[in-house]
Chain A
Amino acid sequence: MSDSTTPSRSVRVPAELRALAANGAALRNALTELAARTPDAIALGRGDPDLDTPPHITAAANAAISAGLADQPMPPAGMPELRAAVARRLRTERGIPVDADGVLITCGGQEGLYLLMQALLGPGDEILVPDPRYSSYDQAIEHSGATMVPIATEPEDGFDLRPEAVARAITPRTRAILLITPGNPTAGIITPPNLKAIAELAQQHDLIVISDEIYDQLVYPPAEHLSIASLPGMFERTITLNGLSKSYAMTGWRVGYLAGPPEVIGVLTALKQRVSGRVAAPSQYAALAALSGPQDCVVEQRAIYLARREIMLRGLDRLGLTYAPPLGAFYVFADVASVGISAFELSYLLLSEAKVLIFPGTAFGERWVDWLRISYLQPAPVLEDAIDRMATVLERYS
């Protein structure tokens, strides 16, 4: 296994980038900015769908803007119709017994996560987080004063979260467990039997569950999505986090939501008022159209991602790289140990020499020095081009 920060062979990574090697979010940002300054770069980094926001959604936003509705201040918890639409979706599609008063509209899923950490955790608390993790969790947890306790997941399990690993990590200070399924960066899912066992653990140890389901509509057969809040006895201890960004190609609109018991949502609303105020009105009208309008776009986009996934997996096979088969989202977490260069350095080489932006695994956890997270959010021909470009670098350095 390589070391992410020690230079290997003759790879010269700029010192300012190397200084960020252990800071996941900052490293991702720095690489993204470097790619933005690199002409003809292919971005397989951020989880930002390249597809357009569907036209019926943008049309609804524009209609609200034309009618002056976007000028009207929204209630602190969000537009009532939007909260109702979220609740309806969670009840009918996910089996979560929530009503509109149990929904808070947030400025993207990430704000929801930040609010939750501040509201639910405090100094001395521990929160269990699967490893690897979406590293933007880190600062939110740090600000709460709590300690993040990683729970290892393994490629041979498809990065599923094993209940016995969760059980081993629980201490008297454990306050909460954070679940994300499908996962980022792994694209693995927590299988229903494991999720049910984890729910039992949460009840036995009286833990809060934060369930990040931002990719719940991007699950590929034969995998299935299960919301833990729909399991018996779990709604009262679970906050479900989701948003519109990934499933409707709406990252720029910044709309997410939290769902849980109404009294809890009331306090979270008060916290949101202090921290960031209300969610932009035009974005809420767009989100309402997304949730209450035709859902063909979700099916179509999922089919596009599925086709791209196959292109990427075939490409990785051609490059001789291994991976745990991705079951959701739009990422592949690939093992590049065979290349003989740390993933951190390889990601720099891929960007500087092949003009392909890919994040190293160390941006998602210290252990993942030989892994890359590849997002396949580009049209098929561009993905093919990216794979060809990657091949040139791998041939040169392997």
Chain B
Amino acid sequence: MSSSVLHQAVARSAQRFSLAPPALPPADWIDLAGTDLYEATPDSVRIATRAAVDAHQADHYTRRPGIAPLCARVSEHLAEHGVQLKLDNVIITGGLAEARFLAVRAYAHGRTVLVPATAAPADYVTLAGLSGATVHPWSPDDLPDVANPLVMLSDPDPATGNCLSAAQVARISAWAVARQALIVVDLSLLGVLRDPQAYTLLAADPAVADRVLMLGGFADLPGLDAWQVAWFAGPGAILGPALELKQAMTICSPAVSQYAALAGGAAERAAARASRSQRLAAITALLDRLGIPYLAPATLTYVVADVAALGGGAAVVERCAAHGVGVASGALLGDPNRIRITAIEHNLSEGLRRLEAALTTGTAQP
């Protein structure tokens, strides 16, 4: 790298923020490791979005927090889980990464940031580092004695797809009130729960609702990952810093993507659930056939398998990579003996063929 003042400045940043340029996957790689399901947007969503574009609804800045009907839809969705927030308490973000950054950067100042012991895809540790905050790991079963913390709580956990039990939620709620904690619940997988009725949302507890912020996406609709649209929400009394930061960062989110998220209806959601269930079943069928144990999936997106008998997560990840397929390593999940397999739409069959080869034939090439 050259030694110009510009290069020196970014070199310092790279070190300060642990930034490395993103690695590009090899050609012909199939990614069963990520959070992207590689789905296609439904035709009905495309048609409705094109109509919005033709009507020039995508041309201009939107209302700063987001288009009102989409904010209202998020509000209604949260109401289904017992959380009452007005549409003015919802900010539409340019994707989940931005929502997670808002959560940490807008609220970390002067607080200890408690991050999940199992690293989430967003890597809250790095985000807290960007904010200059002190970081402390935590888990729902090990609530630390820290006053006034900012708590990052992923439920369902994007690392594992697991949900907190009602008892865990109650314990966290009481602890949060006692410690004056501010909690951000990452709900990015709320829309893909296998059993929404069994889910307990922390913010629905009136005792703690005034200190809970939430973020999520539109995962119930297929194919919106590349459109970069998500949301951040919370009580009006504590939402201000996020709204200000969002404005300072990007003014508003892409209008075209907001209209796409608005376009999907019940039929698209039902079709997505059916398709995802089938894909999940394809993964579990393979694991059953190979005699590999796995956790009962809480969401329609991942299966977490126990590969201790195959040498552990790291060894299996390496074998899979040699076969041109990526699976998430156990290090992400807090258990080195596990791997996570994502139920992608595009190329799942080929991905599972390669996975089977990796799991049954060792390091042989595809």
Q: Which of A360-384 contact B (CB under 8 A)?
A: none
Looking across the interface, which residue of chain A has its beta carbon closest to that of B95?
A277
A62 to B53, Cβ gap below 8 A? yes
**How many A residues face the partner with a CB closer than 8 A?**
75
A252, A278, A283: which contacts B61 (Cβ < 8 A)? A252
Q: Which of A100-147 contact B (CB under 8 A)?
A: 107-108, 110-111, 114, 118-122, 136, 138-140, 143, 145
Q: Which of B46-66 contact A (CB under 8 A)?
A: 46, 49-50, 53-54, 56-64
A71, A110, A175, A253: which contacts B58 (Cβ < 8 A)? A253
What is the CA–CA distance of A273 and B130 in the complex, to the nearest angstrom?
A: 12
B residues with CB within 8 A of A: 1-2, 4-7, 9-14, 16-17, 19-22, 24, 36, 38-41, 46, 49-50, 53-54, 56-64, 94-98, 101, 105, 123, 126-127, 130, 132, 223, 225-229, 244-245, 247-257, 260
B54, B62, B251: which contacts A110 (Cβ < 8 A)? B251
A73 to B226, Cβ gap below 8 A? yes
A342 at the interface (CB under 8 A from B): no
A residues with CB within 8 A of B: 25-26, 29, 33, 36, 46, 48-49, 52-53, 58, 61-62, 65-66, 68, 70-76, 107-108, 110-111, 114, 118-122, 136, 138-140, 143, 145, 175, 206-208, 236-239, 249-254, 260-261, 263-264, 266-271, 273-283, 286
B61 to A48, Cβ gap below 8 A? yes
A71 to B39, Cβ gap below 8 A? yes
B228 to A280, Cβ gap below 8 A? yes
A76, A119, A280: which contacts B227 (Cβ < 8 A)? A280
Looking across the interface, which residue of chain A has its beta carbon closest to that of B94?
A107
Cβ-closest 9 pairs across A and B: A277-B97, A252-B255, A139-B248, A270-B19, A267-B10, A280-B228, A276-B98, A266-B21, A281-B226
Looking across the interface, which residue of chain A has its beta carbon closest to that of B58?
A252
Looking across the interface, which residue of chain A has its beta carbon closest to that of B36?
A73
What is the CA–CA distance of A266 and B40 in the complex, to the nearest angstrom?
A: 30
B49, B123, B248: which contacts A274 (Cβ < 8 A)? B123
A114 to B53, Cβ gap below 8 A? no
Looking across the interface, which residue of chain A has its beta carbon closest to that of B129?
A274
Contacts of A53 in B (CB 8 A): 56, 58-59
B229 to A280, Cβ gap below 8 A? yes
A274 to B58, Cβ gap below 8 A? no
Minimum CB–CB distance from A123 to chain B (whole Å) comes to 9
Given contacts A58-B54, A263-B10, A274-B17, contact A252 B256 (CB under 8 A): yes
What is the CA–CA distance of A261 and B61 in the complex, to the nearest angstrom?
A: 31
Given contacts A267-B21, A274-B19, A282-B257, contact A58 B58 (CB under 8 A): yes
B64 to A175, Cβ gap below 8 A? no
What is the CA–CA distance of A385 and B19 in the complex, to the nearest angstrom?
A: 53
Given contacts A71-B226, A252-B61, contact A107 B250 (CB under 8 A): yes
B5 to A208, Cβ gap below 8 A? yes
A118 to B13, Cβ gap below 8 A? yes
B59 to A46, Cβ gap below 8 A? no
A48, A207, A261, A274: which contacts B97 (Cβ < 8 A)? A274
Contacts of A277 in B (CB 8 A): 94-98, 228
B59 to A250, Cβ gap below 8 A? yes
A175 to B9, Cβ gap below 8 A? yes
Minimum CB–CB distance from A293 to chain B (whole Å) comes to 16
Other A-B pairs beyond A121-B9, A253-B58, A276-B101, 19, CB < 8 Å: A29-B247, A58-B56, A65-B46, A71-B223, A107-B250, A110-B248, A120-B9, A237-B5, A252-B256, A267-B21, A270-B20, A271-B13, A271-B19, A274-B123, A275-B130, A276-B95, A279-B94, A280-B228, A283-B257
A-B contact pairs, 15 of them (CB 8 A): A46-B61, A52-B59, A65-B46, A70-B227, A108-B250, A206-B5, A237-B6, A252-B254, A252-B255, A253-B255, A254-B252, A277-B94, A278-B95, A281-B226, A282-B227
Looking across the interface, which residue of chain B has its beta carbon closest to that of A142?
B248
A25 to B247, Cβ gap below 8 A? yes
B62, B226, B251: which contacts A280 (Cβ < 8 A)? B226
Looking across the interface, which residue of chain A has its beta carbon closest to that of B105?
A143
Minimum CB–CB distance from A135 to chain B (whole Å) comes to 10
A276 to B226, Cβ gap below 8 A? no
Contacts of A260 in B (CB 8 A): 6
Looking across the interface, which residue of chain A has its beta carbon closest to that of B24?
A75
A66 to B13, Cβ gap below 8 A? no
Contacts of B105 in A (CB 8 A): 143
